[in-house]
Amino acid sequence: MDFLTLIQVLDSTVRLAVPLLLACLAGLFSERAGIFDIGLEGKMLMAAFFSAAVAAVTGNVWLGLLAGVASSLALAGLHGLASITFRGNQLISGVAINFLASGLTVLIAQNWFQQGGRTPSLIGAGRFNSVELPFAIGPTEAEAAGRPLSQLLAEAGPLQQIYSELLSGHSVLVYLSFLAVPLTAWILFGTRFGLRLRAVGENPAAVDTAGVSVVGLRFAAVGICGILCGIAGAYLATALQAGFVKEMTAGRGFIALAALIFAKWRPWHALSATLLFGLLQALALRFQSINLGGITLPVQLMEALPYILTVVILAGFVGKAVPPKAGGTPYVKER
Amino acid sequence: MSLMKTLMGAAAAMAVTAGSALADPALIFDLGGKFDKSFNEAAFNGAQRWSKETGGTFREIELQSEAQREQALRRFAEAGSNPIVMAGFAFGDALGQVANDYPDTKFVIIDMVVDAPNVRSVVFNEHEGSYLVGMMAAQASKSGTVGFIGGMDIPLIRKFACGYAQGVKAVNADATVISNMTGTTPAAWNDPVKGSELTKAQISQGADVVYAAAGGTGVGILQTAADEGILSIGVDSNQNHLHSGKILTSMMKRVDNAVFSAFEDGVDMQTGFSVMGLANGGVGYSMDEHNASLVSKDMQMSVDAAAAQIATGDITVHDYTSDESCPALSF
């Protein structure tokens, strides 16, 4: 494997990891506040559809992003209503949201666009185009030189390759999502709101005794979760792809949950866990069967690795993953 | 009294014949979904063409999960639909179990062979059509490297890849064919994001024509190819219009014709084994205003010549599924 190939694999890793990272941080906020959320997948899917649909109709991707976030927030509100206000079972509410999103997206898409549950292809300003950082070799340079981009990159120095291929050329949402990691860490561990949010996931009675609203905090956490899932869905449909296709999240919400356990509910670890999962996916896509001197690793093994790793973690080999103590149980003030 | 009996009997007989005459054909779509712009949509188009030409109506269902296969078959058979057409290899097991329970109902399965007296098994020579688009890919490629991206890794899709690779090598024996599969589960038919990543990986390995045989995943493949300025090849239906001027051609698999003729033959259809190949118009490549500028006269002539030779048997294209191996490509 030469250096440029390595860079290309890492580049693919970044693209694949971003939706996982956003969904993982979304789950982190929610679960740290004591609300388990297996509806990440459904919220992403709903946001993917509404962002693509609104972007297709208006031709403005930012309006699409807003619509995606709003639709994801609506589902998050539903989850909050069911599991916080009415103290329902959080897992069941999450499953319901997944089913709801899976059915509603295709139904509405068919009704609006008559393209069999898809949105029209997004063009021009209707999608997030890649940002070319200054001095990076990108499509414009390739066009000016009249040669394919891959040739120009192959001739460039290693530093330029890293800069142009790995750092430059992503959509603005990618850079935003990486900024979300330190922001999350700061909110959770550096602010009063974060302290209360973590406390409400460990011991809501103590928070209540201190005179802070448990319900309010939990709704705030679920809301942040909705916003982040919305961005993740919009990234899938309007940045990575140019439109919505049914079930396009393809289980990424569940991989994000696995990553969350893998990261033991910590933001920086969430970043490394999702990057690791993204790397494994990118490797599996680039080298479908890896030949290690006589032993051929089948592609199925590579694709299963994220799950195997998570099971290993859960079995306690790499260290115990302890979820927030009050997670999954609705808060009852008085019996 | 006896007159009454006769009348009653006649009425009953009428009712029975009326019932069988009213039997509408039914069509079952596979998990890819009715509007996948590809395989299932072709089946739907065939059914719709039949409906328009004959004024008949048909019943249909789009499956949502593996568990529904047998249930859908039994539901239609018990409701009296006849014939029942199912689009997809994955119905093989379910039909094998159901077919004998409804001996008076005719079943048609596409892409799979089920051995039962009331089943017509339609298979396509996809390797022949893929051979033709492979020839076009090799002629359109400047880098000498072309790509293939399949959906779920199954023998049927390998058959596409193998025919394609043979066509490429027939034009340019030194050409490199990169072959990738999206996954090993049915989710691989609906993961455009993964399709995009595979396309980017192939482009960085030098591919400048990519053949997508991946159902809904193909949407992402064709999109990325168009974004990155390389050519792509569609599959099953004519997909040239999706990115006008950027899709070289589409490998046409006339699933619509198979469905149409099944509906037309109706209850009295001939069952057994039916092969749709180049010789009887079952497969081919598409030409229209969207790709006219991409395909030169020479290219088209050489491909048409090869098509004629395959139809007459002068060129034989190896079928991967016949012996699970491919002379031109290793998996």
Output the CA–CA distances (angstroms, integers) from residue B42 to A44, A233, B54, B258, in the order listed: 30, 30, 18, 10
From B35, B181, B201, residue closest to A286, measured CB to CB: B201
Q: Which residue has the higher pLDDT, A246 or B134?
A: B134
Instruction: Give yes or no for a contact between A108 and A71, defined as CB atoms under 8 angstroms apart.
Output: no
Task: Assign A72 a pLDDT band (cuts: 50, 70, 90).
Answer: very high
Smallest CA-to-CA distance from B194 within A58, A129, A251, A294 is with A251
Q: Tell me what pLDDT residue A49 has.
A: 96
User: Mind listing the pLDDT tens digit for each residue in A181-202?
Assistant: 999 999 999 999 999 999 999 9
Region B19-31: mean pLDDT is 76
Q: Which amino acid is at B325?
A: S
Q: What is the 3-state secondary structure (H, E, C) of A204-268?
A: HHHHHHCCCCHHHHHHHHHHHHHHHHHHHHHHHHHHHCCCCCCCCCCCHHHHHHHHHHHCCCCHH
Hey, how many other C-beta atoms are within 10 angstroms of the C-beta on B309? 13
Q: Tell me what pLDDT residue A155 has.
A: 80
Q: Tell me what pLDDT residue A124 has.
A: 81
Chain B partners within 8 Å of A8 (Cβ):
200-201, 204
- Compute the nearest-CA separation of A108 from chain B (Å): 14
Task: Assign B4 a pLDDT band (cuts: 50, 70, 90).
Answer: low
User: Mind listing the pLDDT tens digit for each residue in A247-269?
Assistant: 888 889 999 998 998 899 999 99
From A15, A250, A288, residue closest to B190, measured CB to CB: A250
Region B171-180: mean pLDDT is 93
Task: Assign B141 a pLDDT band (cuts: 50, 70, 90).
Answer: very high
Beta carbons of B35 and A118 less than 8 Å apart: yes
| Rounded-to-integer distance, Cα B259 and Cα B128, Å | 20
Instruction: Give yes or no for a contact between B165 and B126, defined as CB atoms under 8 angstroms apart.
Output: no
Q: Tell me what pLDDT residue A136 has.
A: 81
Task: Assign A1 a pLDDT band (cuts: 50, 70, 90).
Answer: low
Region A147-154: mean pLDDT is 75
Beta carbons of A250 and B180 less than 8 Å apart: no
Beta carbons of A248 and B190 less than 8 Å apart: yes
From B183, B204, B219, residue closest to A245, measured CB to CB: B219
Output the CA–CA distances (angstroms, integers) from residue A76 to A21, A80, A177, in the order listed: 18, 6, 19
Q: Which chain B residue lies closest to A124 (C-alpha atoms)?
A: B227
**CB pairs < 8 Å spanning A and B:** 77
Pairing of strands B247-253, B26-29: unpaired
Q: Which amino acid is at B26?
A: A
Kindly report the average pLDDT of chain A as a whole number. Answer: 89
Chain A partners within 8 Å of B39 (Cβ):
none
Beta carbons of B220 and A241 less than 8 Å apart: yes
Task: Assign A43 a pLDDT band (cuts: 50, 70, 90).
Answer: very high
Beta carbons of B193 and A282 less than 8 Å apart: no
Kindly report the average pLDDT of chain B as a whole number. Answer: 88
Q: Tell me what pLDDT residue B15 has.
A: 46
- The complex's ipTM works out to 0.83
User: Mind listing the pLDDT tens digit for each residue in B66-125?
Assistant: 888 999 999 999 998 989 999 888 899 999 999 999 999 999 999 889 999 999 999 999
Q: Tell me what pLDDT residue A138 has.
A: 77
**Predicted confidence (pLDDT) at residue B23 exceeds the cutoff of 80:** no
